[in-house]
Amino acid sequence: MTKTFDELLTQREFSADDLLRLLKTTDPAQCARLYQEAFRRTTAVHGNSIFFRGLIEISNVCTYDCRYCGIRKANHAVRRYTLSLEEILEAARYALRAGYGSLALQSGERDDPKFVDFIEGVCAAIHRMSVEEFGMPEGCGMTLSFGEQTPETYERWAQAAGNRTALRYLLRIETSNRKLFAHLHEGRAGAQKTYEARLKALSDLRAAGYQVGTGVMIGIPGQTEEDLVRDILTFKELDVDMLGMGPYLVSHGGDMVDEGMMEHGALLRLTRNMLSTTRLALPTINMAAATALETLQTGARSLGVLSGCNVMMPNVTPQRTRASYQLYDNKQGTESDPDSNVKLEEELVRETGRTIARNRFGSSLHYRSRQGDRPLD
């Protein structure tokens, strides 16, 4: 006997067919109930708080040619930059003064010794500052997102960051469809990245003690709902602690423009369906509301929260470089200074009825349970 849609929403375990039914629904009433149930379960598991990570986009210099990306190496129209250590520390100070217990540091992908040394120094300086200037005994939490690196590099950065109990790394698989993954990374000299290397990097991060985060793009040309189901099952297989995923948005700095993009309304619905379905399947992980949602609809990050997300990343990068860090077209917030951008984030959170968790690391319940039910941080 076929289950009703509402019966599906009461489940705690889901088959691939169950997940596909949830993902594919376009009925407005069913979509609304899906989002409401995801929001309800998020509240039941994680409470009514949203965790903020102060986002610092350290550099847009990249040595790779991912086809979808606006800061790919082959895009010579990009004005390249790398923030100084003092600029990074000032941005970090801003976030910590605002009561964000964690920072998110990201950049284009490099693995040369100069870059590895620089990031090691950045992590050490932020840790020292958070202890000495802000009185945080363990130091602030950090989420790093610098692409695939060696196990030795992961360990060096972990030691420099200081606070291993709130140390995270976000490395998206982008898609679990290996053929599609290869298509996204076909460079001028052939594929630059492999799906197997991505999985090994995630394993190396777990071995180094990081809270492991991954994610996918939703609505990639050629992607199917069945692919998205496989993504969710892959998240479960990888036993991830957190997810960062959002809509695929075309970049004229990449070379996939001719492949098109979903209509904004349909893409927003599919993205919300994916977020909510993933939340039902993985109730204890952390899940971030992506800035990219704002490109689809003003205020859509609040819709991400209402679909099951419990993390936001206000951008505290210096305003002078924001327009140069556009992974996709029409990125929102590039003209805003940190003050106006953070106020916008707080307004969006208030629209959802959530509160901002001040001065908390915000590690996921999934991670804390694996560590022996560490107290809420």
Residue 349 above 90 pLDDT? no
Domains of the chain by residue range: 48-369
- Tell me the one-letter amino acid at 47: G
Nearest Cα to Cα of residue 134 among 142, 126, 144: 126
Considering only 51-55, 146-150, 334-338, which range has the smallest mean pLDDT? 334-338
**Cβ neighbours of residue 239 closer than 8 Å, sequence gap 6 or more:** 212
The pLDDT of residue 190 is above 70: no
The pLDDT of residue 343 is: 72
pLDDT tens, residue by residue, 314-330: 999 999 999 999 999 88
Cα torsion 67, 73, 78, 82: sign: positive
Cα distance between residue 169 and residue 154, in whole Å? 9
Beta bridge partners of 103: 54, 142
Which helix (H) or strand (E) covers residue 220, if one does? Answer: none
- Decide the pairing of beta strands 186-187 and 190-191: antiparallel
pLDDT of 188 above 90: no
Q: Is the pLDDT of residue 346 over 90?
A: no
Look at the block and give the residue holding tokens 């992961």.
Answer: 154
Both tokens assigned to 139: 């130091």
The mean per-residue pLDDT over the stretch 289-295 comes to 94
What letter does residue 269 receive in the DSSP assignment? H
141-145 and 190-191 strand pairing: unpaired
Q: How many CB atoms lie within 10 A of CB 259?
A: 15
Determine the Cα–Cα distance for residues 198 and 172; give it in Å rounded to an integer: 8
The CA distance from 293 to 328, in Å, is 12
- Give the HSE-up count for residue 322: Cα atoms under 13 Å, Cβ half-sphere: 20
8-state DSSP, 254: S
Amino acid at 135: G
Strand partners, 216: 174
For domain 48-369, the CATH architecture is Alpha-Beta Barrel (3.20)
- Do residues 122 and 58 touch, judged by C-beta distance below 8 A? yes
**252: which residues sit within 8 A by CB, 6+ positions away?**
70, 329
Q: What is the mean pLDDT of residues 281-286?
A: 98
Q: Minimum mean pLDDT among 215-224, 272-281, 303-312, 337-346: which range? A: 337-346
Q: What is residue 372's predicted lDDT score, i.e. its pLDDT?
A: 76
Residue 200 has pLDDT above 80, yes or no: yes
Taking residue 369's Cβ as centre, other Cβ atoms within 10 Å add up to 12
Q: What whole-number distance in Å separates Cα of residue 318 and Cα of residue 87? A: 8
Task: Average the pLDDT over 27-54 and give the result.
Answer: 96
Report phi then psi at 178, rounded to 5: -65, -35
**The pLDDT of residue 141:** 97
Reported in sequence order, the residue ranges of 267-358 that DSSP labels E, i.e. its strands, are 286-288, 311-312, 355-356
Q: With contact defined as beta carbons under 8 Å apart, do 315 and 338 qualify? A: yes
Cα–Cα separations (whole angstroms), residue 294 to 125, 232, 291, 304: 32, 23, 6, 10
Locus of tokens 């290869």:
182
**Low-confidence winner among 104-108, 164-168, 292-296, 371-375 (lowest mean pLDDT):** 371-375
Cβ atoms of 73 and 62 closer than 8 Å:
yes
pLDDT of residue 333: 80
Is residue 51 a contact partner of residue 98, using CB atoms and an 8 Å limit?
no
Q: H or E element: which one contains 351?
A: helix 338-352
Q: What does the pLDDT read at residue 83?
A: 98
The answer to whether residue 46 scores a pLDDT higher than 70 is: yes
Over residues 255-270, mean pLDDT: 96
Q: What is the pLDDT of residue 336?
A: 73
Residue 169: beta bridge partners? 144, 212
